Structure 1
Amino acid sequence: MTRISTLLAASALALALAGCASMSSSRMPGGVAEKNGALVGPNGMTLYTFDRDPSGGGKSVCNGPCAKNWPPLLAGSDTPTGEFSVVERDDGARQLAYKGKPLYYWVKDTQPGERTGDGVNQVWRTAKP
């Protein structure tokens, strides 16, 4: 009986942990996920934040030429919850933000998992959950 009880307890724990994992990932909108300690977009590419964007200011200051090198992660039609929000860009597009900071890709990352944009000009940071 002890072995069966142990197996049942282990199974219940595994199910509970699986439920927690699916709950946390389901809170991330628009296909955003966490991979190796970084936020990644639906395409698996690393996401970044810009130190010059005002935290919680609801605005991106990376527009024009800046946005060519740092394309924004545009928000889908779903309404983000928790630490995710949407900011309106100068061109009227909706950009996804995390903890009040708009999210961007780096044009020089060519493969999923690359983080070559981290630390660029001492103002770009890998977005971390």
Structure 2
Amino acid sequence: MKNFVVKTTANAAALAVAIWLLQDITLTGADTGRKVLTLILVALLFGLVNFIVKPVVQLLTLPLFILTLGLITLIVNALMLKLTSALAGAADLSFHVEGFWTAVLGGLIIAIVSWAMHIALPDED
């Protein structure tokens, strides 16, 4: 359970940094409490997408991972962020990623911040 909370917190922090740095990744809400709740729900959704969809996409694009020496990971991360944005829109959450290149940069920011958060936070169960 603790590992789940740590991963969700890291995802939420990484998403918050991407939202703060990039103007085309938006999270809107009436007040701060509503924004925090939406951010946590989007972090849960992002974690679910990364848990279910990302391994399948990585397996299907394995030759490209080898060919590009792993740089295709940036594209896969961008696609996972765009999928999260589409699912958040379908779930009536006010989170949106505008444009593919914004998603690539957002995916890079999220990967770096999430990596740093996983190092800083304990992750044992």
TM bucket normalised to smaller: under 0.3
More strand by share: 1
Structure 1 length normalisation: TM-score? 0.24
Instruction: State the TM-score, normalized to the length of structure 2.
Output: 0.25
> Could you say which structure has the larger radius of gyration?
1
Q: Which has the higher contact order (CA 8 A, sep 6+)?
A: 2
